[in-house]
Amino acid sequence: MRMSRMFFQTLREVPADADTVSHQLMLRAGMIHQIAAGIFDILPLAQRIKHKIEDIIREEMDAIGGQEVTLPMVHPAEIWQRSRRWYEIGSDMARLKDRNGRDMCLGMTHEEIMAELAAKFISSYRQLPVMLYQIQTKFRDEPRPRAGLIRVREFTMKDAYTFDRDEAGINAYYPKLYQAYFNIFDRCGLDTVAVASDTGMMGGSMAHEFMALTGIGEDTLVICDACGYSANRQVAAFRKPAPPTEAPLPLEEVATPHVETIAALAAFLGIPESQTAKAIFQIATVEGPDGQPKDQFVFAVVRGDMELNETKLTNAIKARRLRPAVTEEILAIGATPGYGSPIGIDRSQVLLLVDDLVAASPNLVAGANREGYHLRNTNYGRDYTADRVLDLVAASDGDGCPTCGAPLRTVRGVEVGNIFKLGTRYSIAMGATYLDENGESKPIVMGSYGIGPGRLMAVLAEVLNDENGLKWPITVAPYQVALISLATDKTPEVAAAAERIYADLVDAGVEVIYDDRNERAGVKFNDADLIGIPIRLTVGGKGLQRGVVEMKLRRNGETAEFAVDTLVDDVWDLIADEHERIQARVVERVLAE
């Protein structure tokens, strides 16, 4: 491709509305163009990267028996109603009506559609296991699109689905996807970690997220460097500190004027936050007895030095949504904002959940449900009881690893892939069954596995860059070689040599972008670095006089001179070396159960 014909435009200034490095660089490199919040044009340079990522994904999916399909993006509501997710998913789902008034939606994922397909085509155990996948457009109406292609509304997703006879079947297939995902990320040049995660709206019995560690990540990961334990903070377990052993003391009301936070309370009374109990008021949308959604007042109590984990709470009560209760709702149950506790409230409309550490900790200070007052020496079991005692809190830096007890650490990460053991939720809803050897009908056991090629491309841009621009690995770069001609009007022989070299490289199958523009050398060098082409070849008059072309590696700045007579062979050798360097990253991973 000649640069003069390439549909792109580089920018020298950082766009004001781009909040992450990847967003800034991809805009500046002329790779993407935003047309609305979370909706982007993918331009030719980025399209080539995206296609290469998709080709790697296809190779790894095919290698473990995947078969590619394409399913529709527009779905009839009835299919989602059968799984009940039509009612469970909120405004993230884009709903519409067709010309006949029939309810439809834009597909945000394809579990229901895949299960419905399996119901039509699979009837016998002899057809199992099977794996289908697609690379297709999805739409989720994200409330807060951000970070360029990392969180968008319309995106491309590779979603794969496995169909097995039983749990033993999916237990055998799941590690294959686990390894394949690492292979994909390794071949793209991206370091990732796999962490246990929440199954979320997908449901199922097990899930892992593949995370790229970067400070812009929205997810907090909990990692143990001693034993390798890792989990998304949403579901991470940890060893809670042993509470003190002491006899319950009598309740004592104490005046605490204008003290409405745990930090202020601890400072006012001169005690650690671990000696307090924190009241958290939530309104959960749950399924009522009639199957319809209803609001449930949820009162959660955690120790003052701990943080409520809303995912654990949501999963515990199977809530569809969760929001903070407003003042009027808190007052209606007999509690006082800023001074709340379970003691003395109206329990008739309240679901009271207490963290197990609170239940085991004696003589905590809690609210008196009277403005300006708290209670010393509250004790679970004597002063109040809960509907449920369970783990409700989030792990933090320094907490004990649940496996080995060593200190945990937290890091930020961006999710680039996820895998789920779905079980039979969708197959039962869609009637996807098979007959076993005895002629008995059984539900198919499903798994779901997703990667967003666009997000993966953006994360690569986020972590592989320097002050001059992007640094694409050879496996996904839009072109392998950037050829730069330093010809001027006074050096036509340089232009002629660059043309011959360009033709020779193209004839040899090298992916080369040739900067034949009438621009200064500095502009050409800057654009090659900004775009991030792995290998740069510079054709100049001084080098040609010695029969050489200058080579520079983008990833590390290494330079060399290649003889013009052996240039094509030298370039291919370098490309092969770069591919071998990436391939060496691919190693076997063990899935810890």
- At 98, which helix (H) or strand (E)? none
Q: Is 13 helix (H, G, I), strand (E, B) or coil?
A: coil
453-to-138, 220, 472, 580 alpha-carbon distances in Å:
12, 22, 15, 23
Sign of the alpha-carbon torsion through 278, 284, 290, 291? negative
| Close Cβ partners of 481 (under 8 Å, ≥ 6 residues apart) | 505, 510, 511, 512, 513, 533, 534, 535, 536, 537, 571, 575
Is pLDDT at 203 greater than 60 in this prediction?
A: no
Q: Which residue has the higher pLDDT, 489 or 284?
A: 284
Q: What is the pLDDT of residues 311-357, one digit of tens each?
A: 999 989 989 889 999 999 999 999 999 999 999 999 998 999 999 99
Is pLDDT at 549 greater than 90 in this prediction?
A: yes
Is pLDDT at 87 greater than 60 in this prediction?
A: yes
Long-range contacts of 242-249 (CB under 8 A, 24+ apart): 243/357, 243/360, 243/361, 243/362, 244/361, 244/362, 245/362, 246/362, 246/363, 247/362, 248/362, 248/363, 248/377, 248/379, 248/382, 249/362, 249/363, 249/376, 249/377
Percent above pLDDT 90 for the chain = 87
Write down the residue that tokens 């319950």 correspond to.
248
Helices 453-463 & 44-63, crossing angle to 10 degrees? 110
Q: What is the reported pTM?
A: 0.88
DSSP string, 468-514: TEE---TTT-S-SEEEEE---TT-HHHHHHHHHHHHHHHHTT--EEE
Percent above pLDDT 70 for the chain = 98
Closest CA to 401 of 232, 234, 238, 240: 238
Pairing of strands 293-303, 277-287: antiparallel
pLDDT (0 to 100) of residue 200? 60
Sign of the alpha-carbon torsion through 248, 240, 269, 245? positive
Per DSSP, helices labelled H in 188-225 are none
Residue pair 466/460 in contact by the 8 Å Cβ criterion: no
289 pLDDT band, cuts 50/70/90, is: confident
Write down the residue that tokens 């009908």 correspond to.
441
Residue pair 317/296 in contact by the 8 Å Cβ criterion: yes
Residue 570 CB coordination number (10 Å)? 18
Is pLDDT at 437 greater than 90 in this prediction?
A: yes
Alpha-carbon distance 441 to 265, whole Å? Answer: 61
Q: Which residue has the higher pLDDT, 262 or 489?
A: 262
Is pLDDT at 202 greater than 70 in this prediction?
A: no
Is pLDDT at 205 greater than 70 in this prediction?
A: no
Q: What is the pLDDT of residues 244-258, one digit of tens each?
A: 899 999 999 999 999
Average pLDDT of the residues in 425-429:
95
Q: What's the DSSP call for residue 384? A: B
Residue pair 270/254 in contact by the 8 Å Cβ criterion: no
- Backbone φ and ψ of 265, nearest 5°: -65, -45
Residue pair 140/92 in contact by the 8 Å Cβ criterion: yes
Residue pair 160/174 in contact by the 8 Å Cβ criterion: no
Which tokens go with 147?
């970070």
Q: What's the DSSP call for residue 241? A: P
Write down the residue that tokens 């559609």 correspond to.
113
Average pLDDT of the residues in 69-94:
93
Beta strands in 140-196 (DSSP E): 154-164, 193-196
Q: Is 59 helix (H, G, I), strand (E, B) or coil?
A: helix
Sign of the alpha-carbon torsion through 498, 499, 500, 505? positive
∠283-288-291 over CA atoms, to 5°?
135
∠426-431-436 over CA atoms, to 5°?
105
Which tokens go with 317?
């009560």
Average pLDDT of the residues in 399-409:
94
Average pLDDT of the residues in 17-32:
93
- At 550, which helix (H) or strand (E)? strand 548-553
Average pLDDT of the residues in 105-132:
96
- The amino acid at residue 119 is A
Average pLDDT, the chain: 94
Q: What is the pLDDT of residues 567-579, one digit of tens each?
A: 999 999 999 999 9
Closest CA to 84 of 289, 293, 316: 293
Is pLDDT at 31 greater than 90 in this prediction?
A: yes
Residue pair 157/574 in contact by the 8 Å Cβ criterion: no
143 pLDDT band, cuts 50/70/90, is: confident
DSSP string, 343-366: TT--GGGEEEEEEHHHHH--SEEE
By CB atoms closer than 10 A (0-12, 13-18, 19+), residue 511 is middle
Which tokens go with 557?
């700045």
29 pLDDT band, cuts 50/70/90, is: very high
First to last CA, the chain: 49
- The amino acid at residue 516 is D
Q: Is 481 helix (H, G, I), strand (E, B) or coil?
A: strand
Q: Domains of the chain by range and CATH? A: 31-224+410-462 (3.30.930.10), 252-390 (3.90.960.10), 472-583 (3.40.50.800)
Q: What is the pLDDT of residues 462-506, one digit of tens each?
A: 999 999 999 999 999 999 999 999 998 888 999 999 999 999 999
Write down the residue that tokens 């052996």 correspond to.
566
Average pLDDT of the residues in 428-442:
96
288 pLDDT band, cuts 50/70/90, is: confident
Q: What's the DSSP call for residue 12? A: S
pLDDT (0 to 100) of residue 40? 95
Pairing of strands 293-303, 350-355: parallel
By CB atoms closer than 10 A (0-12, 13-18, 19+), residue 64 is middle
Lowest mean pLDDT among 183-187, 219-223, 430-434: 219-223
Q: What is the pLDDT of residues 349-402, one digit of tens each?
A: 899 999 999 999 999 999 999 999 999 999 999 999 999 999 999 999 999 999
204 pLDDT band, cuts 50/70/90, is: low
Is pLDDT at 193 greater than 60 in this prediction?
A: yes
pLDDT (0 to 100) of residue 42? 96
Structural Rg of the chain based on CA atoms: 29
Q: Cα 288 vs. chain centroid, distance in angstroms?
A: 31
